[in-house]
Amino acid sequence: MTHTERFSLKGKVALVTGAASGLGLAISEALAEAGAHVVLTDMDGAALDRVCPGVAKAGGRAETLVLDVSDRAAVRAAVDEVAARHGSLDVMVANAGVSAGPGYLTETGQINAVDDAQWDRVLGINLTGVFASVQAAAKHMKRQRGGRIVAVASVAGLKSEVMCGYAYTATKAAVVNLVRQAAMELAPYGVMVNGIAPGPFRTNIAGGRIRQPEVEAQFASMVPLGRIADPEEIKGLALLLSSPASSFMTGATIPVDGGVMAR
């Protein structure tokens, strides 16, 4: 197998959650560029319709599916539908996630101020949504005896993070261990399960709060490279973990963080 073939996804079917913007969109573009047929899912159908042609133009094929990942039954039905229509599901990227608000340096982010409804919403998307996506994909990949599952966690799941809310850090830490657990179960079936732990990226999470100059400066001050990342910078690792190039990698959660975890 050549170097190019190792990173090729030609003929593969991939599903990406939270794909209408930010990291999910960048990952979808990377998979399409490698030749995959990408199913972009998100709660925002209008945004999906706007970005889908660009993903298809990247080199592969693309289609959209409106999906709320906190609805486990809907996730299972969607994955079953995609696998049945295309004959397989080769790559699942469980990316959908939401912010839990500010960290404990602000009064509203302190533990006594955590709102029950917000906690439940974040767990429903960031943890239950990832679990349901992994579970639904595993069903088909076990039968196929092969596949790639990639879960997007966060450096806030690997260490304490003062800028992030409690529910966010708790769910991202849980995703890291979910990756380990699923990797062990699925290894005998040839299914690789890995995680990505982004540091601060310029995305629309929390209503795009990180794009505010003062907030961006706060995050950048914690990064050894001295800046936050562009979504394009997630593409390399996402493609690696989704392709044959990661044939001896499973159970890992790899930071893309400008050196944050090295401090």
Sign of the dihedral through C-alpha 51, 77, 152, 112: positive
Question: Catalytic site residue 168?
Answer: yes
Q: Which of 50, 1, 46 is nearest to 28 (CA)?
A: 50
Catalogue the long-range contacts made by 220-223 (C-beta closer than 8 Å, 24 or more residues apart).
Answer: 222/163, 222/260, 223/199, 223/257, 223/258, 223/259, 223/260
| Helical ranges in the chain per DSSP H | 3-6, 22-33, 45-57, 72-86, 116-122, 129-144, 166-186, 205-208, 213-220, 235-242
Q: Residue 132, SS3? A: helix
Q: What does the DSSP 8-state code read for residue 165?
A: -
User: Any residues with CB less than 8 A from the CB of 179 and at least 6 apart, and which?
Assistant: 151, 153, 193, 194, 195, 251, 252, 253
Q: Residue 230, SS3? A: coil
Catalytic residue among 104, 166, 168, 189: 168
Q: Which of 142, 246, 240, 241 is nearest to 185 (CA)?
A: 142
Cα 94 versus chain centre, distance: 4
Burial of 139 (0-12, 13-18, 19+ CB in 10 A): middle
Enzyme catalytic residues: 168
